[in-house]
Structures are given as structure tokens and as C-alpha cells.
Chain A
Amino acid sequence: SQKIEQNSEALNIQEGKTATLTCNYTNYSPAYLQWYRQDPGRGPVFLLLIRENEKEKRKERLKVTFDTTLKQSLFHITASQPADSATYLCALDHNTNAGKSTFGDGTTLTVKP
């Protein structure tokens, strides 16, 4: 079965710096890779989706890359702010026509002022 590893449980950075989170997967490449944000006590919130034929996707201060050779996605938050502090989840979808996603455990980002 597919296994997802997110680089570390926790990442601490200084405000203004770029945060880089890593998502690695095993086995076959997914059709889609998604990133979600989750705040304590709340449900995950969708941020970005990147398809297997896309190398990079951007949305405001967010950037996602997808390297099917390395079996890795990188999620970047530029000019980070304390409000970016949250847990970020990576999820894979193998285009099963059911929209089922396999989620990683998440990385908790803390941005210090």
C-alpha cells in the first residue's frame, strides 16, 4: 500500500523566512497530490493540488513542487508569518474515480515573531 512520510513532526522558523515542508511517498506515483492546513480543534482546509504532469503550482505565498522521479513534493511558504503556524498535511490521490486520498501524518509549523 502507499506510504507517505512528511519530513518532520515539527518545524520552527523565524518570521519572514521561507518554510519548506517535505512529503515523500513510496510505490507508484499518485495522479494528484494535495496540501491541507489544519488548525488545532478544526478540520483540514484544502490549500493546493498539483497533478502528476505538473512540476510546480503557486498560490499567493504558497508554492508546491512535485518530483515524480524523487517521489517527493515540497511545500513552500514564503515571507512566513505567525498566522501561518499550523499543521500541514500532504495527501495523495491515485485517481480511483472516488476521490479517495491517503494522508500523511502532517508537519506542525511554528513561525516565531
Chain B
Amino acid sequence: DAGITQSPRHKVTETGTPVTLRCHQTENHRYMYWYRQDPGHGLRLIHYSYGVKDTDKGEVSDGYSVSRSKTEDFLLTLESATSSQTSVYFCAINKEQGANLYNEQFFGPGTRLTVL
């Protein structure tokens, strides 16, 4: 499982509150990703990171921000949660060998977020 953990695993919050989800890996991989998964939409990329302090937007980045101050942690923040952000959030890493990516993603267990 590439040593990926996510916290919290479940969270219920109210509209307008800030929420931060944490992804932690133990193998020092450079590339990390945040996805959301919703019925009928599959997995959609929110943001990704290719190193400490290096991040970029994905397909559905509006309303989300990320930070990566250490190789092992990638944080996803909802500045002001909305009901449309109710979803299951997955973190993933992409293993590399030297400068080459394996292009095989390894996922964490997910965080189920409910925004009331």
C-alpha cells in the first residue's frame, strides 16, 4: 500500500467551516495527488504535487487549496466547505525510479467528508 495514510477517515462538518485533510506517506515519493470520487463522476483530480512546495491544479481545483511543506505530507484544505464538496477524497502517490515515474498510482484508504 506504499505506506499511505489519510486522516481523518470520516468527517462531518457544516457549510462555511474550514476543513483540512491530511495525506501521509512513508516512502518519500515526489508525486502526490488528491482526488475526489463521486457517483457518476469517477475519480477526478483536484491538485497534485511534484515536490516540497511544488503543486499544481487538477481538473476540479476550485474551492480547494493544498500545501506540501514536507515530502511525506500533502494537505488538502477546503477554505469554506460547501455541500457540493461532500465526497470521498483519496490521496495517491506515484512511485518513481530516478527521474522516471512508474505511472502506477497507489491510493490511500480515503476520507469520507459530509458537509451539512
Contacts and interface: CB of A to CB of B under 8 A. Distances in A.
A46 B109 contact: no
B64 interface: no
A20 B81 CA distance: 40
Nearest to A103: B43
Interface of A: 32, 34, 36, 41-46, 49, 89, 91, 93, 97-106
Secondary structure class of chain B's binding surface, majority of residues:
strand
Nearest to B40: A105
A32 B45 CA distance: 17
A100 B48 contact: yes
A105 B42 contact: yes
Contacts, number: 58
Interface residues of B, number: 26
21 contacts: A34-B105, A41-B110, A43-B90, A43-B92, A43-B109, A44-B105, A44-B107, A45-B107, A49-B104, A91-B43, A91-B105, A98-B48, A98-B56, A99-B94, A100-B45, A100-B58, A101-B45, A101-B103, A101-B105, A103-B35, A105-B41
Nearest to A33: B103
Of B92, B104, B108, most buried by chain A (CB within 10 Å of CB) is B104
Nearest to A1: B59
Contacts of A46: 104-106
A86 to B, nearest CB: 14
